[in-house]
Amino acid sequence: MGARFLFALPLVAVAAGCGGSHVAEPPPATHGQGSLAAPVPQLDPYKAAVAYARCMRAHGVPHPDPDANGDFHLTPAQDKAMHSVTRKQHEAADAACFHLLKGTVSTQPLSRGARQAALVPLGEVRQCMLGFGYRFGKPIVKNMSRGRAMFGFEATPQPQGAKARAKILDAEHACERKVKLAARIDAIIKADRGENR
């Protein structure tokens, strides 16, 4: 029995759904007698997220493309594909590709309040999993580097074999949908980051 993490993605991406992130427009620069300088180029969150997803795939992680806002929302099939690579592979790819998101995602850690709030829907997933016969450990949320966070459970069953892994993932996805986990985590992150998109 070990820890089971549902997701660990940049906080432009969350769980089976991904929290958005955007760049606030900076004030115009002025020179001399108040004349405006050339506008500072704005980073496009969508283009940055597409570049990140392509880079992740080039490094062996089957990462989906973002929506029009530059947010990632994983379907159950995409989540299964993401689980087909090891955490070490995912972290190596993210280390190689994260620079493509710089300036479009917050790298600030989640506040204590946001981490506490995220434990509530995770606890509901845990309760739901009991109905499928899986006893998960207590919910945990951990800040990681570069503004990423892990959401999951302590001391959970680690199924052996492809069929057993597929079965537990199907149960997780059913529970995540039932409690609207992705949308709720997304809202917690956006509120914590002061985003109103």
Q: How confident is the model at residue 138, as a pLDDT?
A: 92
What angle (nearest 5°) sits at the alpha carbon of residue 162, between those of residues 63 and 172? 65
Q: How many domains does the chain have?
A: 1
**pLDDT tens digits along 137-147:** 999 999 988 88
Kindly state whether residue 86 falls inside one of the protein's structural domains: yes
Whole-angstrom distance, CA of residue 83 vs CA of residue 121: 21
Whole-angstrom distance, CA of residue 123 vs CA of residue 138: 7
Kindly state whether residue 119 falls inside one of the protein's structural domains: yes
Kindly state whether residue 33 falls inside one of the protein's structural domains: no
**pTM confidence score:** 0.68
Q: Which value, in Å, is the radius of gyration of the alpha carbons in the chain?
A: 18
Q: How many CB atoms lie within 10 A of CB 117?
A: 19
Mean pLDDT of the chain: 77
Q: What is the dihedral of CA 182, 141, 139, 127, to 10 degrees?
A: -10
Kindly state whether residue 35 falls inside one of the protein's structural domains: no
**pLDDT tens digits along 55-86:** 999 999 999 998 888 888 777 788 778 878 88
**What percentage of the chain reaches a pLDDT higher than 70?**
77
Higher-scoring residue by pLDDT: 132, 105: 132
Which domain does 54 fall in, by range? 2-20+43-193
